[in-house]
Chains A and B, each alone.
Chain A
Amino acid sequence: MKLKKIIIKNFRSYYGENCFELSDGLTLVIGDNGDGKTTFFEALEWLFDTSKENKSESNVSEMRKHELGIGDSDIVSVSVQFEHGGEREICKSFRFERQTNGNILTRDFSFVGYTQFGSERKRVDGKNLLEACFDTVVRRYCLFKGERELNVFDNNTALKTLVDTFSGIKQFDQYVENTEWFEQESDKLVTRELKKDKKQEDTVKRLEADMSRVMRDISDTTRDIKTKEKAVSDFESRIRVLEENQDACENLQTIKSRIDSKRTELNRMKLHVDLDYNALLLDDMWILRSFPSILQEYQSKVSMLSKEERRMQKAEDERIAVEKGKKEALKEIQKLANDATPLPWNLPDKETMQEMIDDEVCKVCGRPAPKGSEPYEFMVRKLNEYLEHIRQESAAAESKEMDVKPLFENEYVAELHTRGIQMSGDVEKTISKLATKIDDRLQFVQMRKNDVEKISQELQEAEDAKLQLLIQNPSLTEEMLDKTFHDYKGLSESSKRAELDLKDLQHKLSDLEELKASIKEEQNKIEPSNGIVKIYQRVHLTLERIMKAFGEARTANITSFLNMLENEANFYLKKLNAGDFRGVIRIIRTVDGSARIALYSSNGTPITNPGGAQKTTMYMSVLFAISKITTLKRDEDYPLIFDAPTSSFGEFKEDVFYNIIDQIDKQCVIFTKDLLNFDRESGTRKLDYSKINSLSCTVYRIHKQDGYDEEDLSTIRTITEKIK
């Protein structure tokens, strides 16, 4: 089958009729995002969809619809002209019409085919023609949307379908089944006949019982193996997914731990920075920063007051001392001759004294004391002394209270002075150092503020790195990556354990198979006494060998098919990766009949996480290989149609890739946004002619018609232009 021409009419952005003529080799349809590449691909998907009559209004060109007046109608159609044992065409279409209420009605769906016989063109059923020339199974391996769909082995039945379709092994299955049936029937017959033999009856029954037990065990073990293989394969695929994300996962963990540590650091720093300065003025008494001079003023004032009081007290004390001194002197004068102790001042009394003076006689000793004599003078002095004493006593009594009352009745200055003493020393020192302490603290805060700024910036950078990582891996979420990190260890352990269990089970199965073979051998060795049974036995033996041969042949066929596929795939892989590391493709079979494509280094190491381009070329190589095998088996070639298969390629890889595809003898249609360059002047992307001219293929450029309204779908029209 070779595609010749594709005509798209009024299908979504393809307004009016748009014709693409395809070359036998590569045809490139180049367009930027939104230019209509995927629409083109989906137009083909719509054409090839044989499952339903889809005449959805959403496939109608908005621009064309917009133009329709009430009652006007037009047609949506996609048709493909191709070679397949002659010229063929299939065309799918429906009519759309604007009704009086303004709505669009779609009707007259048709799917027709045309075959050319000589000069005669014959109309046939489109669906039948399509299935006859390009059946569903083949289409499965011909149309690919994006990079993701390239892996054709992504489901369990893919390998079986592939083998069934392309290897011719399917017909073989019937023979295998038949030989198995013959073997079973002949076995039953031999056993039944042997049981009738009295001599062998016990042996036969024992062997039969042994055999049935072994068969049961084999069946159980096989079931266990299947379960275990499924588990191993599940673990492997989950681990594979995890491994694909391992780098991203590790990066994320590193970034997250950096974010955590920065956050902690930031919070710690903020504690230093977030100060309530107003509270500090009071609580930490920062308000006393300028207090030293006032405290000093207080100290000198209080000290001066204290000094003044002490001075006054001293003067008072002196005055009292003087008074006291006078008394002492008086006593001195009163001293008697021979230092005799005088009588108390009140003896004799005043009246007696006055009488003796008046009588001029000392009535104590009885001697006369005439006026002017010494005894007379003594008596007069004694009387005066008496009177003075009385006077002094009364004066003393009068001033007694004044003498007891201290100069200072309060001690407030002393209180203030004590306070002053308490405040000197440590308190004064603390207050005088407050200014330095505050300055140091503020300087410290400023430094921490700088730290906060720096850390905030680093935190922002880490957050940005995290965001970038997640943007770069749009299919991954943070939760998935976190889970991956935690799951990986557990999964690897579980996987290893399951593999060990599987090995044990496989050993057990092979032991059981050996046991089964030895029972069989023993059964075959039984010597029947009846000659006809001996013949039965030999026939059974022969049928058993035939069965084994067919079984082994089937396995060998599948293996050889897969080997061929592998070889072909590696042939294309080598071409597509010319001059680059490529590894070796292996198609690995699993017990459930499915397969997966894996890349290995030639030394046998699996390449667990191939890059995007590596993976894409690996899958494409397998597709080319399948296509080649298809061609061999069916004597018919089929086109490969890819929508944006190279989105993970670098620019260099793109060039090499298109050059190689260009050289491969295979019809390919590739929709791509590669080979466009950004034009600074116009701000748009334009064709890279230097690269395009080096290709020999057909190139179409599709783009949106200029002057469209970004918000109005009915202004969008895809313009197609054949470049070469």
Chain B
Amino acid sequence: MAEKLYDIWARRNPSWEKRYEDSVIKAFSDYGKGVTSLGSAKGKLFGAGYEVFIIAYFIGLYNNQRRTLIEDSTKIKSFGQPIQYWGNIDSVKGRKAYPKLREFIFTSLIAKTDFDFIALDKGMISNKKAVDALMTTMEEYANWGFHFMEDKLIDNPNYFYRETAFLELFLSFDSSSAAVEDDDEPDSLD
């Protein structure tokens, strides 16, 4: 049986712009510390670098805002861990694993990526192209999220250091189940 699209996707490693490495990723996580036990460096909000990426991704997703990555490939970087290992952290004290979240990220990518899946099934387009398209969506949402965080930090370096800062941000998004239409126009007041 052919390999699943999800599995092909999960083997990939998203890219992100190097400019956020110090300003956002390292500021909030142990990324680059060479540690395997997450959260060992005190005062960090997150453990692995990909956790900051996830946060950034969802910020972009819920705002439905993408930002194309810089074209210069020398200014692009990716994590050491492919997506399939994200969230496997139940060995870390005080934390528990969240492997299911990967599936939700995948579903959101399918929902948000404009791609001819019929042509894919017909074999007219390769699955690599499909996964490329998903990764682009993922990277662009996260890129916007990183940009958003950096923006907040420029205004106030301690913006995210309140214990509920990120929580409050995610609480501010609409939690209803009505699909958000980009071109929704407000109802007439007449």
Using CB atoms and an 8 Å cutoff, list the residues of chain A in contact with chain B.
275-298, 300-302, 305, 308-309, 312, 407-413, 415-416, 419-420, 423, 432, 434-435, 438
Question: CA of A285 to CA of B171 in the docked complex: distance in angstroms?
Answer: 13
B62 and chain A: residue at smallest CB distance: A290
B167 at interface, CB cutoff 8 A: yes
Residues of A within 8 A of B6 (CB): 415, 419
Residues of B within 8 A of A284 (CB): 96, 98
B163 at interface, CB cutoff 8 A: yes
A-B pairs with lowest CB-CB distance, top 4: A292-B177, A290-B173, A298-B111, A435-B175
Contact between A298 and B98, CB atoms less than 8 A apart: no
Contact between B111 and A301, CB atoms less than 8 A apart: yes
State whether A412 and B107 are in contact (beta carbons under 8 Å apart), knowing that A289-B170, A290-B173 are contacts in the complex.
no
A308 and chain B: residue at smallest CB distance: B118
> Mask for B115-155, Cβ within 8 A of A = 1, else 0?
00110111100010010000000000000000000000000
A408 and chain B: residue at smallest CB distance: B121
Determine how close the nearest CB of chain B comes to the CB of A270; give it in whole angstroms. Answer: 14
**Residue of B117, B121, B123, B176 ringed by the most chain A CB atoms within 10 A:** B121
Residues of A within 8 A of B111 (CB): 294-295, 297-298, 301
Residues of A within 8 A of B180 (CB): 293, 297
State whether A293 and B174 are in contact (beta carbons under 8 Å apart), knowing that A305-B117, A408-B122, A413-B117 are contacts in the complex.
yes
- Pairs A–B under 8 Å by Cβ, sample size 30: A277-B164, A277-B167, A278-B166, A281-B170, A283-B96, A285-B100, A287-B58, A288-B104, A290-B62, A290-B173, A290-B174, A292-B175, A293-B178, A293-B179, A294-B112, A294-B179, A295-B107, A297-B179, A301-B111, A305-B117, A309-B118, A309-B121, A312-B118, A410-B121, A410-B122, A412-B120, A419-B103, A419-B107, A423-B107, A438-B171
Determine how close the nearest CB of chain B comes to the CB of A722; give it in whole angstroms. Answer: 72
Using CB atoms and an 8 Å cutoff, list the residues of chain B in contact with chain A.
2, 4-6, 45-46, 51, 54-55, 58, 61-62, 87, 94-98, 100-101, 103-104, 106-108, 110-112, 117-118, 120-123, 127, 130, 163-164, 166-167, 170-171, 173-180
Determine how close the nearest CB of chain B comes to the CB of A286; give it in whole angstroms. Answer: 7
Residues of B within 8 A of A295 (CB): 104, 107, 111, 177
Residues of B within 8 A of A409 (CB): 121-123
Partner of B127, one of A285, A410, A420: A410
Determine how close the nearest CB of chain A comes to the CB of B187; give it in whole angstroms. Answer: 18
Contact between A291 and B170, CB atoms less than 8 A apart: no
Determine how close the nearest CB of chain B comes to the CB of A432; give it in whole angstroms. Answer: 6
Residues of B within 8 A of A309 (CB): 118, 121
Determine how close the nearest CB of chain B comes to the CB of A488; give it in whole angstroms. Answer: 46
Q: Is the interface of B mostly helix, strand, loop or mixed?
A: helix
Further pairs besides A294-B61, A295-B177, A297-B112: 13, Cβ < 8 Å = A278-B46, A282-B54, A285-B100, A285-B101, A288-B104, A290-B173, A290-B174, A291-B108, A294-B112, A297-B180, A298-B111, A415-B5, A416-B117
Determine how close the nearest CB of chain B comes to the CB of A105; give it in whole angstroms. Answer: 66
Contact between B166 and A412, CB atoms less than 8 A apart: no
Question: CA of A66 to CA of B2 in the docked complex: distance in angstroms?
Answer: 107
State whether A286 and B167 are in contact (beta carbons under 8 Å apart), knowing that A294-B61, A294-B112, A298-B108 are contacts in the complex.
yes
Contact between A283 and B98, CB atoms less than 8 A apart: yes
Contact between B127 and A412, CB atoms less than 8 A apart: yes
A407 and chain B: residue at smallest CB distance: B122
Residues of B within 8 A of A285 (CB): 98, 100-101, 104
Question: CA of A420 to CA of B100 in the docked complex: distance in angstroms?
Answer: 14
Contact between B170 and A292, CB atoms less than 8 A apart: no
Partner of A411, one of B61, B62, B95, B121: B121
Determine how close the nearest CB of chain A comes to the CB of B138; give it in whole angstroms. Answer: 13
B47 and chain A: residue at smallest CB distance: A279
Contact between A412 and B121, CB atoms less than 8 A apart: yes
Residues of A within 8 A of B87 (CB): 282
State whether A292 and B118 are in contact (beta carbons under 8 Å apart), knowing that A282-B98, A411-B2 are contacts in the complex.
no
Residues of A within 8 A of B127 (CB): 410, 412
**Residue of A291, A308, A413, A435 ringed by the most chain B CB atoms within 10 A:** A291
B101 and chain A: residue at smallest CB distance: A285
Residues of B within 8 A of A286 (CB): 167, 170
Question: CA of A289 to CA of B170 in the docked complex: distance in angstroms?
Answer: 8
**Residue of A275, A297, A300, A312 ringed by the most chain B CB atoms within 10 A:** A297
Residues of A within 8 A of B110 (CB): 298, 301-302, 416
State whether A281 and B166 are in contact (beta carbons under 8 Å apart), knowing that A410-B123, A412-B5 are contacts in the complex.
yes
Residues of A within 8 A of B164 (CB): 277
Question: CA of A435 to CA of B62 in the docked complex: distance in angstroms?
Answer: 15
Residues of A within 8 A of B166 (CB): 277-278, 281
State whether A282 and B117 are in contact (beta carbons under 8 Å apart), knowing that A293-B176, A296-B179, A410-B127 are contacts in the complex.
no
Question: CA of A410 to CA of B125 in the docked complex: distance in angstroms?
Answer: 10
Contact between A276 and B101, CB atoms less than 8 A apart: no
Determine how close the nearest CB of chain A comes to the CB of B48; give it in whole angstroms. Answer: 10
State whether A278 and B96 are in contact (beta carbons under 8 Å apart), knowing that A294-B61, A309-B121, A408-B121 are contacts in the complex.
no
Residues of B within 8 A of A296 (CB): 177-179
Contact between B170 and A287, CB atoms less than 8 A apart: yes
Question: CA of A432 to CA of B117 in the docked complex: distance in angstroms?
Answer: 27
Contact between B175 and A434, CB atoms less than 8 A apart: yes
Question: CA of A435 to CA of B175 in the docked complex: distance in angstroms?
Answer: 7
B7 and chain A: residue at smallest CB distance: A415
Contact between B179 and A283, CB atoms less than 8 A apart: no
Residues of A within 8 A of B171 (CB): 289, 438
Contact between A277 and B107, CB atoms less than 8 A apart: no
Question: CA of A280 to CA of B164 in the docked complex: distance in angstroms?
Answer: 11
Residues of A within 8 A of B179 (CB): 293-294, 296-297, 300
Question: CA of A279 to CA of B174 in the docked complex: distance in angstroms?
Answer: 21
Question: CA of A287 to CA of B94 in the docked complex: distance in angstroms?
Answer: 18
State whether A289 and B107 are in contact (beta carbons under 8 Å apart), knowing that A278-B46, A282-B54, A410-B127 are contacts in the complex.
no
Determine how close the nearest CB of chain A comes to the CB of B154; give it in whole angstroms. Answer: 21
Residues of B within 8 A of A410 (CB): 2, 120-123, 127
Residues of B within 8 A of A308 (CB): 118
Partner of A415, one of B4, B54, B173: B4
Contact between B45 and A278, CB atoms less than 8 A apart: yes
Question: CA of A409 to CA of B55 in the docked complex: distance in angstroms?
Answer: 37
Contact between B176 and A292, CB atoms less than 8 A apart: yes
Question: CA of A301 to CA of B114 in the docked complex: distance in angstroms?
Answer: 10
Question: CA of A305 to CA of B117 in the docked complex: distance in angstroms?
Answer: 7
Residues of A within 8 A of B130 (CB): 412
Question: CA of A290 to CA of B171 in the docked complex: distance in angstroms?
Answer: 8
Contact between A290 and B170, CB atoms less than 8 A apart: yes
Residues of B within 8 A of A278 (CB): 45-46, 163, 166-167
A290 and chain B: residue at smallest CB distance: B173
Question: CA of A280 to CA of B51 in the docked complex: distance in angstroms?
Answer: 12
Question: CA of A412 to CA of B98 in the docked complex: distance in angstroms?
Answer: 25
Residues of A within 8 A of B103 (CB): 419, 423
